[in-house]
Structure 1
Amino acid sequence: MKKKSGEKSISAKKKETMSLSVKEGAAVSVMIGAGHSFIIPYALAIGAGNLAIGFLNSFIGLVGPLTQLKSTRLMEKYPRKKIVFYAILIQALMWMPIMLLGLLFFRDIFTQYLPFLLIIFYSLHIGAGALASPIWFSWMGDIVPAKNRGKYFSFRNRVVRFVTVVSMLAAGFFLDYFKTGGFVLLGFSVLFSFAMIFRLYSIYLFSKHYDPGIKLKKGYYFSFFDFLKHSRENNFGRFVIFVGAIFFAMSIATPFFAVYMLEELGFSYVWYTLIILAPVVLSLFSLSFWGKISDKYGNRLVIFIAALSAPIYPLLWLFSTSKIYLLIVPPILAGLFWGGFNLATINFVYDSAKKEHRSLCLAYLHVLMGVGIFAGSILGGVIAKYGSVEYFNDLLNLGFGNIFLYIFLFSAFARFLVVVVLLHRIKEVRDTKLPPILTEELKHLENFEAGMTHFNGSMFHYLDVGDIGKEDINKVGRVFR
């Protein structure tokens, strides 16, 4: 009887933690909506140029994942709850020096160094939060039942995105009001104060979470370089390479959509906010659908469909500068598909890695993503700073009026190459079966991609991915299921 009572108690604690995690996600969404979403506009407001914007995005993309390399080692010595608590406390407090930069700019003190200092402080902020990410990932993997992950995380993500939408929208109108009065830097400080307060509130919610604890088996650890060495020989390794490559291609353009709207097109903060928010709003309606598809047919199908949309998105920015067009057309594609990609990516890690390796595998995934973001953002920044519109117009005969449109075009081409060369090499890890019509269509697409890969002289050999099943290849211990 005691055993059953204990089991019920643990089950109740897990359910309570799942509920608390949704509230915690809502709290951190205020920080994202009122803080993270306005870092690039803030950088522009304190004098950052295009190259500095590229460096800002590149460093936060790399510093965060690099800190995660230490996450699993910390789990050997300290409880997961304790690590997460102190990591996000540091993250919350880093908003204070970030806010101080606005005051220094207003007082005309060290203005030439402020963009550089913002890169440092914001990278530390992101790094502290990133340190907690794989540990939280491992923690929630022990809380949420495997059969309900797609449903639960799609619901949590919808709540997170809804609160992000509300906070971003309020922040955009708030900033425009302060900008009209000539106090935009004060407006940023108020927003970042709210971001800090709600991050501190999330710490309180974490303190109430149940942590079942984890005992890491001897020999569980394998280095990042061991992982890279054998990455092409196992399904998860190929998946990580694909994700890192697609983030490289995306990051060529990602930091510069905001610069393009605010600097080139002269949009207000309200219009900037609305356009950035539009795909988030649309994803609220698609996440439930992708969660069900993920649970029923596996994550690879969702990743496959979403990735095919990736090259199209930056191309949609080439056709019009109309506010209404940019509010409706590009966000439809991003909102309907890319939320599914993010959801399926996380679930794919859960399905691929054993319990004791989850945090390590997520950290290595994030490192490759970070390297991709770093390299892509630097490349985009260099093109934005030193690229010649006249040269590209003569070379490609397109007649674009600014360098940002070429950045979007190059990003689209890079995304296309990544999808063609790497996507077909990923297998599903769950024992799932697709409807016959989808199986045939996927085979046609895979054969096309494989043919394109062969045509391009790729060093990768085509592997038949029509056979859905678990992969046994694993040269880095018994890491993956």
Structure 2
Amino acid sequence: MMKDVVGKETGKYFGNRNKILGISTLLVMLGCGFLLNYFQRIDLLFFGFLIIFGIAFVARLVSWNFLKKHYDPKFKCEEKNQFTFAQFIRAIPRSNFGKFVVFIALAMFGTYIASPFFSVYLLKNLNLDYATWILVTISNPLSTLIFMPLWGKFADKFGNLKVLKWTGALTFLIPILYFFTMFMSGWNVVPLVAYLFAIEFFSGFIWAGFNLSSVNFIYDAVSRQKLALCIAYYNIFSGVGVFAGATIGGFISSMNFSLFGISSILFIFLLSALTRIVFYFMMIPKIKEVRKVQRYKSGEFRNELKSMFVPIYNRLGIKSI
């Protein structure tokens, strides 16, 4: 629907929309973190989770009620625009969108080998309490909130593929940075938490661009008549990648081994980094930009980044760099 409503500036729209979602996420994470920390102190952690899940259930019901009021016009799909899942798979070698879908599926596979276990690692291996854990993990949506509009404007100018190339090339660094915490066992809690906060802030910056541009690339690459089917098949591939990656990561982490001093959970961080970078270089050169965009010039991103903070600099009386 948003392809029809928004028009060409999808990056700007979704950047601003996700900014609102980011604020909501920050507030909810803060509330949940303090709630869990309180119930942990009084040894009633189960009831803390019970309250959170209950609130989430009610929120879903309220959301569903609003969704029912949404006007959804009937959509007529001509037979020539319909194709089966098998036909879609057979067309992948010749289809730019098909190659993009495979890239996303492989990226999700590599990502979810480790992604579900970062929080486990923070809580169980690094022994963070819930308040500290929230302080660390909240930097991710905070970073997303700050940089999502920037990525949206940049993608509208220079194309979603440009953003995918830049951010996709950097995602492998996130599990690598987590892996380095194995050398920080003797650190004081303050520098350790600061390091973890920086990792999650960097992660939010990277994934804000990747997630935004991957969704918007679909709107650029697919016609309105084929959009529903293409999104469905995209979600199937992406879901399979997520499931397979998380399953393999869970299986390896449950083996509880140590190899050259590397525990099983640290091993999956390395494996995730390796698969991310391998699949990136394997697939990204095969994908082409599908709309006319401005030619990127050196320093453009830096200029866009500076423009974000000029109002803040002016308000604080700071001369921008």
Q: Per-residue deviation at 1:374?
A: 1.4
Runs of 4+ in 1 over 6 A off after TM superposition: none
Q: Deviations over 1:379-432 (max 9, x none)?
A: 11121122521xx21xxxxx33x3211110111011110111111111111111
Partner residue, 1:349: 218
Q: Kindly tell me: are residues 436 and 262 of structure 1, through their superposed partners in 2, closer, same or farther at Cα, counting changes over 3 Å?
A: closer
Q: Deviations over 1:76-99 (max 9, x none)?
A: xxxxxxxxxxxxxxxxxxxxxxxx
Q: Per-residue deviation at 1:204?
A: 2.9
What is the distance in 2 between the residues matched to 1:213 and 1:161? 32
Partner residue, 1:44: none
Partner residue, 1:365: 234
Name the amino acid aligned to 1:325: Y
Partner residue, 2:167: 306
2:90 pairs with 1:220: no
Q: Deviations over 1:240-265 (max 9, x none)?
A: 00000011111110111111111112
Please tell me whether the aligned partners of residues 6 and 13 of structure 2 are also in contact (alpha carbons under 8 angstroms): no
What is the distance in 1 between the residues matched to 2:2 and 2:277? 34
What is the distance in 2 between the residues matched to 1:173 and 1:376? 31
Name the amino acid aligned to 1:141: K
What SS does the corresponding residue of 1:309 show, helix, strand or coil?
coil
Please tell me whether the aligned partners of residues 174 and 203 of structure 2 are also in contact (alpha carbons under 8 angstroms): yes
Q: Could you tell me which runs of 5 or more consecutive residues in structure 1 were left unpaired when the two chains were aligned.
A: 1-138, 394-398, 440-481
Higher CA-based Rg: 1
Equivalences, count: 291
What SS does the corresponding residue of 2:288 show, helix, strand or coil?
coil
What SS does the corresponding residue of 1:230 show, helix, strand or coil?
helix
Please tell me whether the aligned partners of residues 97 and 221 of structure 2 are also in contact (alpha carbons under 8 angstroms): yes
| Normalised TM-score (structure 2) | 0.86
What is the distance in 1 between the residues matched to 2:76 and 2:288? 30
Match of 2:243 among 363, 374, 385: 374
Name the amino acid aligned to 1:140: M
Partner residue, 2:285: 424
Partner residue, 1:31: none
Partner residue, 1:265: 126
Q: Deviations over 1:81-139 (max 9, x none)?
A: xxxxxxxxxxxxxxxxxxxxxxxxxxxxxxxxxxxxxxxxxxxxxxxxxxxxxxxxxx3
What is the distance in 2 between the residues matched to 1:327 and 1:333? 9
Partner residue, 2:304: none
2:70 pairs with 1:209: yes
Please tell me whether the aligned partners of residues 37 and 131 of structure 2 are also in contact (alpha carbons under 8 angstroms): yes
Q: What value does the CA root-mean-square deviation take over the aligned residues? A: 1.7
2:204 pairs with 1:325: no
Q: Per-residue deviation at 1:278?
A: 0.9
2:10 pairs with 1:140: no
What SS does the corresponding residue of 1:370 show, helix, strand or coil?
helix
Partner residue, 2:306: none
What is the distance in 2 between the residues matched to 1:205 and 1:148? 26
Identical residues among aligned pairs (%): 35
What is the distance in 2 between the residues matched to 1:211 and 1:201? 19
Match of 1:413 among 274, 292, 310: 274
Name the amino acid aligned to 2:294: K
What is the distance in 2 between the residues matched to 1:408 and 1:378? 14
Q: Deviations over 1:6-58 (max 9, x none)?
A: xxxxxxxxxxxxxxxxxxxxxxxxxxxxxxxxxxxxxxxxxxxxxxxxxxxxx
Name the amino acid aligned to 2:211: N
Partner residue, 1:11: none
Q: Could you tell me which runs of 5 or more consecutive residues in structure 2 were left unpaired when the two chains were aligned.
A: 185-191, 301-321
Name the amino acid aligned to 2:244: A
Partner residue, 1:181: 42
Summarize the alignment of residues 34-49 of structure 1 with structure 2, pairs less than 5 Å apart: none
Name the amino acid aligned to 1:385: S
Please tell me whether the aligned partners of residues 240 and 365 of structure 1 are also in contact (alpha carbons under 8 angstroms): yes
What is the distance in 2 between the residues matched to 1:182 and 1:332? 31
Q: Per-residue deviation at 1:152?
A: 1.2
Please tell me whether the aligned partners of residues 247 and 372 of structure 1 are also in contact (alpha carbons under 8 angstroms): yes
Q: Per-residue deviation at 1:437?
A: 4.2
Please tell me whether the aligned partners of residues 253 and 407 of structure 1 are also in contact (alpha carbons under 8 angstroms): yes
What is the distance in 2 between the residues matched to 1:209 and 1:378? 37
What is the distance in 2 between the residues matched to 1:250 and 1:295? 26
Q: Deviations over 1:202-246 (max 9, x none)?
A: 223223433343221124221112111111211100100000001
Partner residue, 1:286: 147
What SS does the corresponding residue of 2:74 show, helix, strand or coil?
coil
What is the distance in 1 between the residues matched to 2:180 and 2:250? 22
Name the amino acid aligned to 1:274: L
2:201 pairs with 1:340: no
Please tell me whether the aligned partners of residues 309 and 333 of structure 1 are also in contact (alpha carbons under 8 angstroms): no
Q: Per-residue deviation at 1:433?
A: 2.9
What SS does the corresponding residue of 2:81 show, helix, strand or coil?
coil
What is the distance in 2 between the residues matched to 1:220 and 1:324? 52
Name the amino acid aligned to 2:2: M
Summarize the alignment of residues 437-456 of structure 1 with structure 2, pairs less than 5 Å apart: 437=298
| Normalised TM-score (structure 1) | 0.58
